[in-house]
Amino acid sequence: MAAISTTPRQKLGWGAANVFVIALALIPVLWMISLSFKTPTAITASSCSKQSGFFQCFFPAQWTWGNYSQILKTATFVRPLLNSIGIGLIATFISVALASMAAYAIARLRFPGKQVLIGMALLIAMFPIIALVTPMFTIERALGLFNTWPGLIIPYVAFGLPLGIYTLSAFFREIPWELEKAAKVDGATPFQAFIRVIAPLAAPGMVTTAILVFLASWNEFLLAISLTSTISARTAPASLAYLSGSSQFTVPTGPIAAAAVVITIPIIIFVLFFQRRIVAGLTSGAVKG
Amino acid sequence: MAEIVLEHITKRFPDGSLAVDDFNLDIRDGEFVILVGPSGCGKSTTLNMIAGLEDITSGELRIGGQVVNTKTPKDRDIAMVFQSYALYPHMTVRENMGFALKLAKTPQNVINEKVEEAARILDLTQHLDRRPANLSGGQRQRVAMGRAIVRDPAAFLMDEPLSNLDAKLRVQMRTEVSRIQRRLGTTTVYVTHDQTEAMTLGDRVAVMRTGILQQAGTPKELYDRPVNLFVAGFIGSPAMNFLSGTLEDGRLRTALGDFQLSDRLRREVEGSGSGRDVIVGLRPENFEDAALVSAENRPAGITFRTSIDVLESLGSDVFVYFTRGQEQGVSAVELEELARDSGRADTGGSGDTIVARLNASTRIREGQEAELWVNGRAMHIFDPASGRNLSLAGDDDGPVSAPGAAAQDEHAATEADGSVDVQALPGQDGPAGEVT
């Protein structure tokens, strides 16, 4: 589109705008990475006064792994990191499994109350979580789910489902219905048709949904901090609030930055790894060219 | 191998619309039956009911003597080829073809054997490990056929399997389908909207319209003895010409001229209670350049002069198009539907252009006045109200009584003087133009 009429001047203008936007988005991230490699003294020292240059201030004068080794040695961070991985994966798996079946039914079947069901799902997705924190806290205390893995997995699944149902029903609608008919005629039961023909074709959709649900539960902070009390169920983002400095009165800026970098890495790997699968449409060749 | 019997099959959709109405058909073991009709006539619904993909509202469906109304598709032992092929894109050709057998828990070595056998029949051996996305349209179509063949089912059901192919490939695959069906001898029900496909492939053809079976018979029967206006207009390419006609003093007055009716036919038409107005149907090949018609044959029809609007020479035949000022256009619900559906401008009621198929040796030129002859004995007469073919009842000597000519053997006449015999024109016996 841009190729229609772009003068070098326009190109330059757009390039500058792009660089500006990217810089705006990346500077906090880079700042965080930079902080995570600084020594505690460098962070607290007033080296970033008006006289010092930008680079002098931005890059650590002295690179150190100290912040990383510190947080990776304390159970305060390592255990929540494991919790995050476990809770995220389990919630994702359950969400995707349930959402695929629900989305398949919504895409394929006509049943009374279908619109109501879709509306309810949308409602749940839109509900402000903060309004639910107090009732959920009480309920989970009563059920003995407070400060346990299931105590977080269940709400994460509940909030992941609407998202999953929406994404997946769009994918299922794209799959030619005739494939299912063909499978039925070939002797498949409805469940076999779903598992062996429909689900593999909806795999890109499932991966997309899985990524979205995983990201949501990985990044979730409000419930994680409200429904946990110890590191036995606390997730990584919540644990950042509990990191302590060398003394009670020091803000642990370096370790927090290092922890933030650590919890960002899995997300980047996750997305890079699955990106190709999301983009590649698997359904090509099912029906006529 | 099995026979399929449809008895009073009716399909009513939840919204109340009637898709198939009291459909009766006996499909014999090993027979190749075509369901044909314009889109929305219920032919695909009928096929889906046989497959078990649609519920039967009422009636009885038997496959191989067993009532299967409530059986799921997997218990009916049928294989289906879909219009879109419906190949599983995540499986290789081999897996696609073996999928049904795998579901049936057939041992892997038997599956391999059957898949390879089917691949040999269909010339797919070198493509077995490719995925559908990497195959051409024709190859995909063959894989879809292969998936049906390996099952060795009681019946094949095919839902417009060739309609996604380009014209050349379609003709080629048509022969292929016919060859495979003959080789395997499996009962086949084939749905198409293409009358050429129907005429060339089927042992028997069932023509449907608005959910109702109009006529079932061999292609020849449908062509020569269509029971109503719809079948007459649907079967044949180019389509039958329709003219309005009026009965007066035992003569049938049309825009082409007056035909002398036989007593039997006159009684039939008069007895039908449809009044004096009828619709006359004449196939393009019932016309001939009058100069090429032998003197013995002339009395069987009438000659008329007309100016030729368009002339198309195909080498083997010549098609001429001309118009006759008709007092009123031919109008019948069935013809309107035909014209609407097929989009063929030359279908009956759409205008008063008449198509005639003449012998290639004609000297007629475009834009000139010419004398044409039309065979009155091949004429069909329809009741405009009901669409019923009035000229069918017990006809043995055709609708027109022409002394001398009626009793004469047409083929003998040709042999005797070598002149062109209308009845023996190419295409007269072959039902459709496009024979491969």
List the beta strands (DSSP E) in B172-300: 187-192, 204-209, 212-217, 241-248, 251-254, 258-260, 277-282, 287-289
| DSSP H helical ranges for A110-202 | 114-126, 130-143, 149-174, 177-185, 190-193, 199-201
- Facing residue for B53 by CB, picked from A181, A286, A289: A181
Domain ranges of chain A: 8-64, 70-279
Cα–Cα distances in Å, from A261 out to A67, A78, B190, B232? 11, 14, 64, 79
CB-based contacts of A13, cutoff 8 Å, min separation 6? none
Taking all residues of chain B, what is their mean pLDDT, rounded to a whole number?
81
Query: For B249-258, what is the mean pLDDT?
Result: 82
B13 touches chain A (CB under 8 A): no
Rounded distance between C-alpha atoms, residue A230 and residue B7, angstroms: 72
Query: For B64-70, what is the mean pLDDT?
Result: 89
Chain B residues with CB inside 8 Å of A289's CB? 137
| DSSP H helical ranges for B68-194 | 93-103, 108-122, 137-149, 167-184
- pLDDT-derived band at B418 (thresholds 50, 70, 90) equals very low
CB-based contacts of A89, cutoff 8 Å, min separation 6? A214
Condensed to tens digits (0 to 9), the pLDDT of residues B268-327 reads 777 766 667 888 889 999 999 888 888 888 888 888 888 888 899 988 889 999 887 654
pLDDT for the residue A45 = 66
pLDDT for the residue A31 = 87
Q: Are B421 and B411 in contact (CB under 8 A)?
A: yes
Model ipTM value: 0.72
CB-based contacts of A2, cutoff 8 Å, min separation 6? A14
Give the rounded distance of the alpha carbon of B295 from its chain centre.
34
Counting one residue from chain A and one from chain B, the pairs whose CB atoms sit within 8 A come to 86
Rounded distance between C-alpha atoms, residue B62 and residue B50, angstroms: 9
Digit-by-digit pLDDT tens for chain A (289 residues) are: 445 667 888 889 999 999 999 999 988 888 888 888 888 777 776 556 555 566 667 777 788 888 888 888 888 888 999 999 999 999 999 999 999 989 988 888 888 888 888 888 888 888 888 888 999 999 999 999 999 999 999 999 998 898 888 888 888 888 888 888 899 888 888 888 888 988 888 887 888 888 888 888 998 999 999 999 888 889 988 888 888 766 667 778 888 889 999 988 878 887 787 766 555 444 444 443 3
Condensed to tens digits (0 to 9), the pLDDT of residues B110-127 reads 999 999 988 988 888 899
pLDDT for the residue A89 = 94
Tell whether the model's pLDDT for residue B57 goes beyond 60: yes
The region of weakest confidence among B172-186, B261-275, B337-351, B411-425 is: B411-425
Chain B residues with CB inside 8 Å of A189's CB? 72, 74
pLDDT for the residue A51 = 58
Condensed to tens digits (0 to 9), the pLDDT of residues B356-388 reads 999 988 888 888 888 899 988 888 888 888 888
pLDDT for the residue B363 = 86
Query: For B398-406, what is the mean pLDDT?
Result: 41
Q: Determine whether the interchain pair A184/B88 forms a contact, defined as Cβ–Cβ distance below 8 Å.
A: no
- Tokens standing for residue A64: 């150190």
- Facing residue for B84 by CB, picked from A192, A201, A287: A287
Q: Determine whether the interchain pair B100/A200 forms a contact, defined as Cβ–Cβ distance below 8 Å.
A: no
- pLDDT-derived band at B342 (thresholds 50, 70, 90) equals low
Class of residue B303 by CB neighbours under 10 A (exposed 0-12, middle 13-18, buried 19+): middle
- Tokens standing for residue B5: 């019997």
pLDDT for the residue A248 = 67
Chain B residues with CB inside 8 Å of A193's CB? none
Chain B residues with CB inside 8 Å of A282's CB? 89-90
B74 touches chain A (CB under 8 A): yes
pLDDT for the residue B419 = 36
Reported pTM: 0.73
pLDDT for the residue A53 = 64
Tell whether the model's pLDDT for residue B202 goes beyond 70: yes
Percent over 70 (pLDDT), chain B:
82
**CATH no. for B4-223:** 3.40.50.300
Residue whose tokens read 């004469």: B408
Shortest CA gap B102–chain A (Å): 9
Among 2.60.40.1180, 3.30.200.20, 3.20.20.150, 1.10.3720.10, what is the CATH number of A70-279? 1.10.3720.10
